[in-house]
Structure 1
């Protein structure tokens, strides 16, 4: 299985380094020296990582055969793709690879269908599930334990307990009635 692990940004300096936008939770595993990555567009790769370092909070990589700023700049916006064994699991049982979460059905605890995960957005503060609803609209669900209460890979579903107003007005009424019932108990 192929997994997009980074996107190349602008060139850094004059010796062929590039900034990268990391799209993996395990950059030390996927983006280490010696890693060979496919690319999109394919014409630019594969690329082998020669070295990497963090500078001012950004990951910088240098690839074999890319020795100057012009060659580095030519790689801008290229996606880096790693080959991942589909059976591979993260070490922490509460962590998941994006490919494990893609296409999961999103439901409320009572089984009410919300939609299907079509994308995962990795933001600095938290990850977001982009969920396509049955009507074709999208909703963003923060991937935090308070909201995503269960991931069941065998059943291919993510159970959520959304706060009032997260989904839409109709769901807000469901949430407010649930909150009222909790207040009474």
Structure 2
């Protein structure tokens, strides 16, 4: 996995096209989801630069209009593309407990007693809340844990680590290299 670009921050991801006039669903990772448009223009993960011109709530989803995108086919070219901005375009964080998801990637994870647990490979949100992808050892099979205060009670960006309290069902995970039970 390539090293994360510390100068870029992921703020959202486009979903499926919505309708025939070029609108597209968007997953926003900003504190106020509908405010994502305020941070653009965005650089996509394929290098294109886009500008969100309008955003609206449609049921449980956000739907965006993108400058230069006028029909469904054009909107489909944006599907699943990640939206990044330069860190310099974001406001300074005021609280010590505040951080951007990009700051979590690469943090060492340890248990409450200081035992190494792995590293954070990514932060994802598939619709039911934030998840951290845990890499228990370099090259080992990753797994996800909920990114909640109960599971990750301490995040220390300056020290480069976070404390994790794994739920009981993850305690039975095999160590890297051990065969998994076939129950």
TM-score normalised to the size of structure 1?
Answer: 0.76
| Contact 1:89–1:96 (Cα < 8 Å) also in 2 | no
Task: Name the residue aligned to 2:14.
Answer: 8
In structure 2, the partner of 1:66 is 69
- Runs of 5+ consecutive residues of structure 2 not aligned to the other structure: 1-6, 176-183
Question: Counterpart in 2 of 1:18?
Answer: 24
Query: Contact between 2:37 and 2:54, CA under 8 Å: does it hold in 1?
Result: no
In the alignment, does 2:147 pair up with 1:147?
no
Offset at residue 89 of structure 1 (A): 4.5
Q: Distance in 2 between matches of 1:67 and 1:140?
A: 38
Question: Which residue is 2:60 aligned to?
Answer: 57
Q: 1:51 to 1:70 in 2, by over 3 A?
A: same
Distance (whole Å) between structure 2 residues aligned to residue 117 and residue 11 of structure 1: 31
Structure 2 residue corresponding to 1:47, chosen from 47, 50, 59: 50
- Of residues 63-72 and 148-157 in structure 1, the stretch that sits farther from structure 2 once superposed is 63-72
Assess, with a 3 A threshold, how the Cα gap between structure 1 residues 145 and 4 changes in structure 2: closer, same or farther: closer
Q: Structure 1 residue 77 and structure 2 residue 83: aligned?
A: no
Q: Which moved more, 1:87-96 or 1:101-110?
A: 87-96
- Cα distance change on mapping 1:140 and 1:75 into 2, 3 Å: closer
Unaligned runs of 5+ in 1: 172-185
- 1:61-95 Cα shifts (integer Å, max 9, x gaps): 11122223332233323322211239954455444
Question: C-alpha root-mean-square deviation of aligned residues, in Å?
Answer: 2.7
Larger Rg: 1
Q: Distance in 2 between matches of 1:86 and 1:63?
A: 19
TM-score (norm 2): 0.77
What SS class does the counterpart of residue 169 from structure 2 fall into?
coil
Task: Indicate how the Cα distance of structure 1 residues 133 and 89 shifts in structure 2: closer, same or farther if over 3 A, else same.
Answer: farther
Alignment deviations for residues 45-70 of structure 1 (CA, whole Å, 9 cap, x no partner) = 31111111111111111112222333
Number of aligned residues: 168
Between structures 1 and 2, the one with greater helix share: 1
